[in-house]
């Protein structure tokens, strides 16, 4: 189990690398994955599951289940309660043989984002009752954007995925600057989706006319 004190001392990429290396050889359920990290490691779980949205992964059903888990983690953080998952999601088995190399490739994103992160920098933007509510609501928004039906459009998963990684890094290390970058990436995602929707609506209107 990964304790909270260990999380503050070790960078997220090192924790993720260790977790990926320790995965079993055959299958791993979502419940087993969370048990390996513990309740204090939910941000680590979120970062890990987000990686599959940043690279092409051909594992049927993974994106839907992983997106739902990330969303429920955000809700549990906002409510200040233990994570609740539907039984079907907890028992969902992931083929580790396909997942491990995909996660290892996705780690490059974590290494990139960590280069601009510093623990306890502007921590007032990363902790506090009101700030926690704002940040966790933004985390949930990013998860919803990640699950939006635009998967076939370039960058539609990348942008909210990067936002979630910024939030995971920033909240775990209490780095307000990383959290702020998460908010900015969320905003960029909303603008991008707005352009997609308005452009699609305009194209449909022109086609019908």
Q: Which tops the pLDDT comparison, 199 or 171?
A: 171
DSSP string, 167-183: HHHHHHHT-HHHHHHHH
β-strand partners of 95: 27
β-strand partners of 28: 94
pLDDT, position 192: 92
pLDDT, position 10: 53
Domain limits, the chain? 4-208
pLDDT, position 174: 92
pTM for this entry:
0.85
Residues 66-122 pLDDT 10s: 889 999 999 999 999 989 999 999 998 888 888 888 888 888 888 888 888 888 899
pLDDT, position 61: 65
Mean pLDDT of 158-186: 94
pLDDT, position 179: 96
Q: For residue 106, count CB atoms less than 10 angstroms from its CB and return exposed for 0-12, middle for 13-18, buried for 19 or more.
A: buried
């Amino acid at each position: 189990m990964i304790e909270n004190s260990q999380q503050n001392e070790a960078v997220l990429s090192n924790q993720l690398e260790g977790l990926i290396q320790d995965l079993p050889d055959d299958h791993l359920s979502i419940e087993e994955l969370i048990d390996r990290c513990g309740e204090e490691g939910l941000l680590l779980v979120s970062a890990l599951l987000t990686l599959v949205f940043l690279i092409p992964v051909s594992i049927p059903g993974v994106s839907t289940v992983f997106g739902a888990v990330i969303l429920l983690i955000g809700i549990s953080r906002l409510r200040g309660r233990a994570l609740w998952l539907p039984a079907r999601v907890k028992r969902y088995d992931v083929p580790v043989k396909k997942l491990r190399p995909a996660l290892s490739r996705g780690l490059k994103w974590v290494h990139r984002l960590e280069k601009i992160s510093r623990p306890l920098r502007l921590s007032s933007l990363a902790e506090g009752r009101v700030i926690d509510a704002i940040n966790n609501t933004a985390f949930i928004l990013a998860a919803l954007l990640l699950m939006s039906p635009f998967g076939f459009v370039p960058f539609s998963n990348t942008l909210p995925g990067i936002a979630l990684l910024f939030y995971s890094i920033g909240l775990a290390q209490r780095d307000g600057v990383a959290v702020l970058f998460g908010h900015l990436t969320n905003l960029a995602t909303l603008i991008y989706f707005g352009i997609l929707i308005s452009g699609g609506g305009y194209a449909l209107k022109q086609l019908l006319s």
